[in-house]
Amino acid sequence: MPGYLLNQWSLSEHEGVLRAATTSMPPWETRGSSQSAVRTLAERDGRLVEIGRVGGLGPGERIYAVRYMGDTGYVVTFRQTDPLYTLDLSDPRAPRVAGELKVPGYSAYLHPLGDGLLLGVGQDATDDGRTNGVQLSLFDVTDLSRPARLDQHGIGTNSYSEVEDDHHAFLWWAPERLAVLPALRYSRDFESLAFSGALAFRVDRGGIQEVARFPHPPQRRSDQFDPVYSRSLVLGGRLLLVSGRGVLSTFAAAPGPGDFVAFAD
């Protein structure tokens, strides 16, 4: 099968059919013209055989995010804008693009929230494709033929979230409609750290609302990296934020400053 897989989300098995989203050029290649496609494959005599294909996704761009949900697929490509493609995979022999939405920037991670909503975490960008800081995008994908962005929330310039590279850093707590993610933001000249920790958002069809910020205790000289809460979980009604230095505990229903307990040296 030609092309390169982005990550584990590029592959999905559904009812005996493997779906694979690939880009013709490797992620480290910046020159040339790339093509992206989703292929469907089935087992025939002990071999995987391509039975369907939908191509032409983001000509000249590469895939930044993929998510499959049953008979539906979502693919984000990027170079200057972020086309979000909705795919109808109900007939694996004839997969097709159902809809397309172009917005500035890109989503590097897509998380289904239920009720026809999809949350994207990635970067905002200028018209020429220069990234401009972390953004959350809330998409309505109820109608695959007409995907729409309901809301967008930016963290600020020179910001980054580990969620872009590792989905384990993202928490969605459905009972409280709560999304939690680590975040770093640097000064304009990147000489100092403006924020390091985690952010919590309430997300529903009405939009994205920041409900809490959790600054991490200041960096120590022995720290090799800027400290962030790279993992979060809910346990017994408590929201726990975990870093390499310790754990912060707060209420999941009403996140507040919380209490930080450091690990023993």
Query: pLDDT of 54-102, one tens digit each?
Result: 999 988 889 999 999 999 999 999 876 678 999 999 999 999 999 999 9
pLDDT at 72: 97
pLDDT in tens, 114-148: 999 999 999 998 877 788 899 999 999 999 999 99
pLDDT at 221: 64
Output 259-263 pairs: Cβ under 8 A, ≥24 positions apart.
260/217, 262/217
DSSP one-letter code for 221: T
User: What percentage of the chain reaches a pLDDT higher than 70?
Assistant: 95
Higher pLDDT, 27 or 249: 249
- 176 backbone dihedrals φ, ψ, rounded to 5°: -110, 5
- Report the chain's mean pLDDT, rounded to a whole number: 92
Mean pLDDT of 189-218: 93
CATH of domain 1-154: 2.40.128.630
pLDDT at 30: 65
pLDDT at 192: 84
pLDDT at 116: 96
Higher pLDDT, 6 or 219: 6
User: Is residue 211 over pLDDT 80?
Assistant: yes
User: Is residue 205 over pLDDT 90?
Assistant: yes
Q: How far is CA 137 from CA 76, 84, 105, 203, in A?
A: 12, 11, 10, 10
User: Is residue 224 over pLDDT 80?
Assistant: no
Q: In which band, very low, low, confident or very high, does the pLDDT at 227 lie, cut at 50, 70 and 90?
A: confident
